[in-house]
Amino acid sequence: MTQRALDFNYLRTLVFEQSGVVLEAHKDYLAELHLDKLATQTGFESIAAFTEHLKTIPLSTLHTQAVEALLISETSFFRDHYPFEALCTSILPPLIQSRSSNRMLNIWSAGCSTGQEPYSIAMLIRESFPELANWTVRLIASDLSTRSLDRARQGIYSNLEINRGLTPVMRDRYFHKTGQSWQINDDIRQMVEFQQLNLLHSWDTLPELDVIFLRNVLIYFNSDTKQSILNKVQRYLREDGFLFLGSGETTFYLDPRFEAVHGKTSLYHRLRNSSQ
Ligand SMILES: C[S@@+](CC[C@H](N)C(=O)[O-])C[C@H]1O[C@@H](n2cnc3c(N)ncnc32)[C@H](O)[C@@H]1O
C-alpha cells in the first residue's frame, strides 16, 4: 500500500469514528480536495505532513477540523423542491389542525449543513402559514460541523448559492445585500435555533418532534449506523409526526416501524399505526 493510501486510511478511520460517515477507500482525492487549505493554514507543508502530525498527537481541535473538512456539506435552498411542496400542502395543514389546542410545533432539520434547509422551511412558514406567527414554533437546526454551523448562523450566501433554489422574488423578500453576497433577514434568521449535535451521540437537547428533515445524511452511513439513528428518530418523532429523508434514501429493510407514504408530490415516512 502506498503512503498516500495509508494516510487516507487513517483519515477515513478518523472520520468514521467521529461522525459515522463512511468514505470509500478509492476516494483519496477527497483529501487533496479538502485538506490542502487546512494543512497550509495550520502551518504544514503538505497534506502528508499534516496527516503524520495528526497520527502522533491525542485527539484535538486539529482532528475535528480535518473531519469537518472531509464531510460532504452539499446543500441548496428548497433542495429537490417536492418535499417542501409536500410540507406546505400535505403535512403542515393537518398538523396545524391537530395541534390547534396547544399551538406548538417542533420541526428539526438534522444535518442542516450551512443552513439552506432550515431557512427554506422558515421562509415557507412565513410565506404560507402566517397564522403560525402566534404559535410557539421551534425550528431546530443541527449539524456536527461547527464550521458549517458558523456559516448557517451568519446566513450569508454567494450569488451562486442564492441562485440554487431561490427565485429573485424570494431573494428580494427574505435577503438583503451585504457586499457581493446576500444575508438572510433577521426575522427569518431568528426563527431558527441552531445547535451542534452529533447524530451518533445524545439527542437529549431535543424536544419531541412533529416533523424531522433528515435529508441526505443517512446516505453517508453504514447500515448499523442508519439503524441506530432511525431507532432514535423513532423515539423522538411524535406518533403522528413526519420524517423526510433524501430522495435516494429509505427506511425500507432498516426499520419496519416506519412506513413510506407516497404523497401527491413527494415520498415521506410515518410511524406505522400512527393515529392520523
Ligand atoms: C450533504 S449535507 C445535507 C444537508 C441538508 N440536509 C440537505 O439535504 O441539503 C450532510 C450534512 O450532514 C452532516 N453530518 C454528517 N455526519 C453527521 C453526524 N454524525 N452528526 C450530525 N451531522 C452530521 C454533515 O456535516 C453535513 O452538513
The residue out of 70, 95, 110 marking a domain boundary is 70
Mutate to test the pocket of ligand 1, among 143, 146, 247, 249 (most ligand atoms within 8 A of CB): 143
Q: How far apart are CA 168 and CA 172, in angstroms?
A: 6
11 in a domain, yes or no?
Answer: yes
* First-residue to last-residue Cα distance in the chain: 56
In the sheet that holds 156-157, the strands lie side by side as: 156-157, 181-184, 175-178
Question: 174 and 97 in one domain?
Answer: yes
For residue 137, what are the β-bridge partners?
A: 105
Please compute Rg for the chain using Cα positions: 20
Question: 28 and 133 in one domain?
Answer: no
CATH of the domain at 144: 3.40.50.150
- Which residue's CA is the closest to the ligand 1 atom numbered 3? 216
* Cβ 221 vs Cβ 17: under 8 Å: no
Q: How many helices (H) and strands (E) does the chain have?
A: 12, 10
Ligand 1: centre distance to CA 113 (Å): 6
77 in a domain, yes or no?
Answer: no
Question: 230 and 159 in one domain?
Answer: yes
CA 25 to chain centre: 24
Question: 246 and 138 in one domain?
Answer: yes
What's the structural domain count of the chain? 2
Predicted pLDDT of residue 106: 98
Ligand 1: centre distance to CA 49 (Å): 28
Predicted pLDDT of residue 263: 86
208 in a domain, yes or no?
Answer: yes
Question: 161 and 137 in one domain?
Answer: yes
Q: Which residues of the chain have pLDDT under 50?
A: none
Predicted pLDDT of residue 182: 98
Ligand 1: centre distance to CA 102 (Å): 32
The residue out of 47, 70, 93 marking a domain boundary is 70
For residue 136, what are the β-bridge partners?
A: 104
Predicted pLDDT of residue 172: 98
CATH of the domain at 50: 1.10.155
Instruction: Show the domain range for 262.
Output: 82-271
Over the chain, what is the mean pLDDT?
Answer: 96
Burial of 1 (0-12, 13-18, 19+ CB in 10 A): exposed
C-alpha cell at 179: 457586499
Question: 144 and 39 in one domain?
Answer: no
Predicted pLDDT of residue 275: 54
Residue 134, φ and ψ in degrees, nearest 5: -95, 5
- Convert the pLDDT of each residue in 139-195 to its tens digit: 999 999 999 999 999 999 999 999 999 999 999 999 999 999 999 999 999 999 999
Q: What is the pTM for the complete model shown?
A: 0.96
